[in-house]
Chain A
Amino acid sequence: MQTFTQTMLPTLLAGISAGGQYALIALGYTMVYGILRLINFAHGDIFTVAGFVMFYAITVMPVYLAIPFTIFVTVLLGFTVERLAYKPLRSAPRMSVMISAIGVSYLLQNLMWYITGGQPQQYPVIPWISDKVVILGQETKRVTVITPILTVVLILILLLLIKRTKIGLAMRAASRDFETARLMGVKINGVISMTFVIGSFLAAVGSFLFFSNYSTVSPTVGTMPGLKAFVAAVFGGIGSIPGAVVGGFIIGICENIIRALGYSTFSDAFTFALLILVLCLKPTGLFGEKLEEKV
């Protein structure tokens, strides 16, 4: 037991915490994919922008204002990116939209370099969640414990939203069949915007948790977590909300176990190898739906 709390527990805690963050980002990917069939490559950068906004906001306003302000700006950014870069390409081939997403990611990164000068910035300390707590004799930040709980709560709310509300119904309809949903009076553009708004909101929340834990914001810091969150989304079956969450936690925990075993060189490679393996065995992921092309 002693060895467990000393060696395994911190690893598991770190894994669950990382998994929760991946899950929150992965939801943004999976929801957008569910409706637009688009890998939103810019999502990881939106997450990073949220980190920078918080960094700058805290210098001019108190925390209780800075948090909603950051969420607002991030959501606005997600909304704007969709309107400017994806909406004009609605009828274009999927590849064009994906390329546009890569372009947006490139632009956001370069903009952040330009504005911040490339200095890694110290993320502000958010009271309470950055406090230290002791769990089974291991000291850790409160955010580590909160992350999985908050993730699960947010996802339950999200599921309720999708299952019980009218906009949720519209989303489900749009993800099934774009054209039919439009014919049935669903305002497709509104639904898509809503998807981006929710995705960006979750990215902003994810950024609070992530940066409280890892404390430094730099323009490219979101790339890897973004990519891994995407892997999590694919792993769980892209388009599926529970899939994204399960995928996030599995990848977070696996990674940390591998690192604890001393194979940290291969922790990223493992994530991608796992992805390729899953895609080959079950191309639609763990919870994904099968789509057959009609002949």
Chain B
Amino acid sequence: MKKLFALLLALVMTLSLAACGGDSGSEVSDDGAKVIKIGIYEPSSGANGAGGKKEVLGIEYANSVTPTVTIGGEEYQVEVVPVDNQSENDKGVSAAQQLVSAGVAVVLGSYGSGVSMAAAPVFEEASIPAIGCSCTNPGVTLGNPYYFRVCYLDPFQGSVLANLAKDEFDAKVAYVFTELGDDYSEGLGEYFSQECGRLGIQVVADKNPAGNTDMSGFVNAAKNAGADVIFAPTSTTVASLLIDQAASAGIPLIAGDTWDDAVILQAASKSGADVYFSTFYDEGASQAAADFMSGFQSWLNANSDKLSNNGGTDTVSAVSALGYDAYMVAIEAIKAADSTDSATIKDALASVTYTGVTGDVKFDEEGDVDKNIIFIKGVDTDKGEFYSVKEQGLNG
């Protein structure tokens, strides 16, 4: 019995080896059209699974809008290859390698800076350029020549949010609540606190240990510290736990880009919470943005699977917009390179300019975009929808 079992396993192993050998980066699709592959390196499980899926949706929508690209006078079909990095660094490396195996020309993603940094050496080794959508940690592009990104960075975001606290709430004391062990959260908290120091806002900081679900203690601490605002750059999971508690204490909440998510709407609706967050995208900012929203929503509503991946609503998340822009930038670069060779595309990326739904994209030498305004949105708890508050920049 046992031998049979072992034999069976060996068989499975060999077969799958053969199978994997078979589908090597075929450049011709079933209907004879030439194909270029774009890899989607995103989590669809793990801590960031929900956010990752929304980013994937934006990319898939972009793919449905622009399914082909012309290279060297020939029309190429663009095939997106998604892979799940499970929001974990050690799983991410093999996921990235999987994309390399699949023969992709460009990679988009990931939601979560940690996994992006983990995969950077893999992409560099294979000379495949990667375009981050919403990974805001400076470390993603810093020293990684093959990593680009279409969003702003945490130092800028943190400073802007501190300015928001000053301008909107005239804050004297800010309670900074971050997630222990999460580099995004702690990094953004750090930049916020630094700017607060410059603006003369007193900072009281605290951290939530991973897996803790009891937020009442922290809200009490904020109250006792006399905080005017709570700055909580956390994941949506922690956010929805926190919102309820903060609402009962009556302290306004400020958060980073992760809060632009339907989950926040659900959590904040009817709670009376005062929620503000920074985001990458505002449908009212330009015609392109408005078009994106209507197009994306009708695309979502036409497909129940996609809708459920978006959390069952057609609320547009900023990460979807970033995913869309990243895809479009990749297409522009492929056009500019006029080649399917990833190294050539990487060189072309450096000089691409593109006006996307989240703003203008032009990469600097680190591979970052220069965005000097951040959209601030709030939650209308009665209507259960987001509304634009303002565009916030830095003061002086």
List chain A residues, Cβ under 8 A from B53.
Answer: 117-118
In this complex, how many residues of chain A approach chain B with their Cβ under 8 Å: the count is 36
List chain B residues, Cβ under 8 A from A118.
Answer: 44-46, 49-50, 53
Knowing A10-B216, A117-B309, A216-B241, say if A265 contacts B44 (CB, 8 Å): no
Knowing A117-B308, A117-B309, say if A214 contacts B220 (CB, 8 Å): no
Let me know if B67 is at the binding interface, CB within 8 A.
no
List chain A residues, Cβ under 8 A from B244.
Answer: 215
Q: Is the CB of A225 within 8 A of B213?
A: yes
Of all chain A residues, which has the CB nearest B87? A118
Let me know if A190 is at the binding interface, CB within 8 A.
no
List chain B residues, Cβ under 8 A from A120.
Answer: 50, 236-237, 240, 263
Of all chain A residues, which has the CB nearest B267? A122
Let me know if B206 is at the binding interface, CB within 8 A.
yes
Contacts of A219-265 to chain B: CB distance below 8 A: 220-221, 223-225, 255-256, 259-260, 262, 264-265
List chain B residues, Cβ under 8 A from A214.
Answer: 213-215, 241
List chain A residues, Cβ under 8 A from B207.
Answer: 264-265
List chain B residues, Cβ under 8 A from A218.
Answer: 237
Let me know if A267 is at the binding interface, CB within 8 A.
yes
Q: Is the CB of A260 within 8 A of B212?
A: no
Q: Which of A18, A113, A214, A223 has the most CB of B within 10 A?
A: A214
Q: Bound complex: CA of A119 vs CA of B312, how far in Å?
A: 10
Q: Is the CB of A11 within 8 A of B217?
A: yes
Let me know if B29 is at the binding interface, CB within 8 A.
no
Q: Bound complex: CA of A14 vs CA of B44, how far in Å?
A: 34
Of all chain B residues, which has the CB nearest A269? B209
Q: Is the CB of A119 within 8 A of B311?
A: yes
A24 to chain B, nearest CB (A): 15
In this complex, how many residues of chain B approach chain A with their Cβ under 8 Å: the count is 37
Q: Is the CB of B216 within 8 A of A224?
A: no
Identify which of A141, A260, A268 contacts B209 (C-beta below 8 A): A268
Let me know if A176 is at the binding interface, CB within 8 A.
no
Let me know if B16 is at the binding interface, CB within 8 A.
no
Knowing A14-B216, A224-B211, A265-B207, say if A117 contacts B50 (CB, 8 Å): yes
B373 to chain A, nearest CB (A): 30
Let me know if B372 is at the binding interface, CB within 8 A.
no
Q: Is the CB of B266 within 8 A of A259?
A: no
List chain B residues, Cβ under 8 A from A182.
Answer: none
- Sample of 14 further A-B pairs with CB below 8 A, known A6-B224, A113-B45, A118-B45: A11-B220, A113-B49, A118-B50, A120-B236, A122-B263, A213-B214, A214-B213, A215-B241, A221-B213, A224-B210, A259-B217, A264-B206, A264-B207, A265-B180
What 3 A-B pairs have minimum CB-CB distances, sorted nearest first? A224-B211, A118-B49, A259-B217
Q: A residues bordering B, Cβ < 8 Å?
A: 6-7, 10-11, 14, 18, 113, 117-120, 122, 132, 139-141, 210, 213-216, 218, 220-221, 223-225, 255-256, 259-260, 262, 264-265, 267-268
Q: B residues bordering A, Cβ < 8 Å?
A: 44-47, 49-50, 53, 180, 206-218, 220-221, 224, 236-237, 240-241, 244, 248, 263, 266-267, 308-309, 311-312
